[in-house]
Amino acid sequence: MPQYLALTYTPDVDWWAPEHAAELGEYRQFAARHADAIRASAVLHPTGTATVVRVEGARGGHVVTTDGPYAETKEALTGYYLIEAADLDEAVAIAAEIPAARNGAVEVRPVIVAR
């Protein structure tokens, strides 16, 4: 069965903050409703906690880490669900129920499955 990664783009917030508890609850309800289709998922801390890693030059080169290269954008990658679905229509139907689809956007990407 094909797999799709549903990436959620929403306002860049701290999901642990009490004011987001209700919204987080909606995500939990979504996940419970589609437990059969969801293979993995994660909620991410805000982009302010991100670290970008690059290796300069060839393999084994100097490791350079920076604070996220993020300009202040309205929406950031804040989580993902790995979904199993028969086809894109089914994946889109599930993704449309993720609260992020209302409060931001969900990007659905087909996953390369090893042959």
Partner 1 sequence: MTPVPTEHDALARTVRVEGARILATLVRTVGDVRLAEDAVQEAVVAALGAWPVTGVPPEPRAWLTVTARRKAVDILRRERVRPHKERDAALLAELEAPDVPTDDVVRDDLLRLVFTCCHPTLAPDARVALALRTLCGLSPAQVAAVTLSSEAATSKRLTRARQKIATAGIPYRVPEPHELPDRLPAVCAVVHALYTAGHAPVDGPAAFDVDVCAEALRLAELLHELLPDEPMPAGVLALLLLTEARRPARLDDRGDAVPLQAQDRGRWDAAMIARGTALLDASLCRTHGQADVYQLQAAVAAVHARAPRWAATDWPEVVRLYDLLLSVDPSDAAALARAVATAEADGAAAGLALLDDVPAGPRRDAVRAELLARQGRPADAVRALDDALAGPATDVERRHRERRRAELARDAAGVVDAGRVASG
Tell me how far, at minimum, the Cβ of 52 lies from partner 1, in Å: 28
Helix, strand, coil fractions of the chain, as percent rounded to 5: 25, 35, 40
Cβ contact 9:77 at 8 Å: yes
Q: Which of 17/93 has CB closer to partner 1?
A: 93
Tell me how far, at minimum, the Cβ of 101 lies from partner 1, in Å: 14
Tell me how far, at minimum, the Cβ of 61 lies from partner 1, in Å: 33
Q: Which of 33/109 has CB closer to partner 1?
A: 109
Angle at 75 between CA 17 and CA 98, to 5 degrees: 75
Handedness of CA 51, 28, 111, 92 (dihedral sign): negative
Q: Which of 76/95 has CB closer to partner 1?
A: 95
Q: Which of 14/87 has CB closer to partner 1?
A: 87
Number of helices (H), then strands (E), in the chain: 2, 6
Residues of the shown chain interacting with partner 1 in the complex, contacts defined by CB under 8 A? 2, 85-89, 91-92, 108, 110, 115
